[in-house]
Amino acid sequence: MVDNTDYGFATRSIHAGAEPDPTTGARSTPIHQSTAYVFKDADHAAALFGLEEAGFIYSRLTNPTVSVFQERVASLEGGVGATCTASGHSAQLLALFALMESGDEFVASNKLYGGSITQFGHSFKKFGWTVKFVDPIDPENFRKAVTSKTKAIFTESLANPGGVVCDIEKIADIAHEAGVPLIVDNTLPSPALCRPIEYGADIVVHSTTKFISGHGNAMGGAVVDSGKFDWTQNDKFKSLSENCGAYHGLNFSETFGAMAYTMYCHAIGLRDLGPTMSAMNAYLSLTGAETLPLRMKKHADNALEVAQWLSSHKQVEWVSYAGLQDSPFYELGQKYCPEGAGAVFTFGVKGGYEAGVKIVDRCQLFSHLANIGDTRSLIIHPASTTHRQLTEEQQISAGAGPDVVRLSIGIEDAKDIIADLDQALA
């Protein structure tokens, strides 16, 4: 099995977590389409249920195919462990579940995917969790929003869809001064372009549905644990630092050390919330991950070429892409994503809402759908779709105003992508 420290990123994209099947010798990781696993004997079963031994019990908790994918994602992000889930949204729920109690707060960037804003601002209220949204462009806004009830800070490395690059290092310092972890959604750049843990992030979440899987055919999410946060430094994280009644007084921090958070996400989070990744989706995502570095380079190269072309188009008011030298986020992009600013960006079309809708309808090569991170180029008008549930003020704040068109640039020939946009804008 490929170790984190021994091989480069491209090698780990193919090999991390995987080895030939010990029974059949199969080189490709098998799809273990089984709900449960036979115990060797009563003592083996007791040890598994008591978290005294690693192994497989029931696929809501652990599955051999999913386990390989978890190890691979953790390796690529530089974490000690990962918990894979059914979707990116369930990954966000699981990430906070280990930290939050009813009445607690967390601080989040207001430059997030519209579905995340809704999840945080509305659905999480049912758990008694309160979010404070702040503008991430000035990291000090996070500091000002922190209170004694704050349990985490949450941001995206590259904002979807506005293209804002967050200063991860500064925000991490603020989080650590407050004694809370920084959670970074790294979906848009993927670990091929940005690795937040290297800049102080404690937890990284993904919608693996997007670039890691990469082919628009597998739903999934991931929660990656850096293993660096001290859950016993204060009394904020009792689920991890105090004895757990559900496991006869087991203390996750004392028992599992750097793996405490990951073990909690599996043993409590997956057990009780049940947002399990399927074996088939893990298999498809493993296959996608093998080409991640190759795809992300092509995605980023194409996106830069398309963004440069759009910048000079007479029907375009503005382009928000951190790879452009006139972008206010260019320097931060060079720091955190030196190999490319990703494939997702927005532009403003002259004519506003109606013009944006018409451009989407006229595209032929681009697919009009609510996804990003596919090999194919994708287009959407956020104000009428993904951010429709927000007020116009919230839409504008999130970078999804009436004139905004979002592109997810695929790995086709750049000239063909440009030609399709050109005829749609004509």
Helix (H) / strand (E) containing 315:
none
What pLDDT tens digit does each residue of the chain (426 aa) get? 565 668 999 999 999 999 999 889 999 999 999 999 999 999 999 999 999 999 999 999 999 999 999 999 999 999 999 999 999 999 999 999 999 999 999 999 999 888 899 899 999 999 999 999 999 999 999 999 999 999 999 999 999 877 799 999 999 999 999 999 999 999 999 999 999 999 999 999 999 999 999 999 999 999 999 999 999 999 999 999 999 998 989 999 999 999 999 999 999 999 999 999 999 999 999 999 999 999 999 999 999 999 999 999 999 999 999 999 999 999 999 999 999 999 999 999 999 889 999 999 999 999 999 999 999 999 999 888 877 877 888 888 777 888 999 999 999 999 999 999 999 998
For residues 237 and 231, the answer to whether their CB atoms sit within 8 Å is yes
For residues 374 and 409, the answer to whether their CB atoms sit within 8 Å is no
For residues 284 and 218, the answer to whether their CB atoms sit within 8 Å is yes
Domain 9-288 in CATH 3.40.640.10? The answer is yes
- For residue 64, give the nearest of 47, 84, 41 by alpha carbon: 84
pLDDT value, residue 356: 92
Distance CA 409, CA 412 (A): 8
pLDDT value, residue 89: 97
Distance CA 355, CA 90 (A): 35
Enumerate the domain spans of the chain: 9-288, 292-425
How many helices (H) and strands (E) the chain has is answered by 18, 14
Q: Give the angle 222-227-229 at the CA atoms, nearest 5°.
A: 110
Give 127-152 as a DSSP string.
GT-EEEEE-TTSTHHHHHH--TTEEE
pLDDT value, residue 24: 92
pLDDT value, residue 394: 81
Give 226-283 as a DSSP string.
-S---TTSSSS-HHHHSEEGGGTTEEHHHHHGGGHHHHHIIIIIIHHH--BPPHHHHH
- Model confidence over 233-256: pLDDT tens digits? 999 999 999 999 989 899 999 999
Find the length of the chain.
426
For residues 141 and 172, the answer to whether their CB atoms sit within 8 Å is no
- For residue 291, give the nearest of 66, 7, 81, 72 by alpha carbon: 72
pLDDT value, residue 125: 97
pLDDT value, residue 8: 96
Domain 292-425 in CATH 3.40.50.620? The answer is no
pLDDT value, residue 393: 85
- Residue for token pair 């985490």: 152
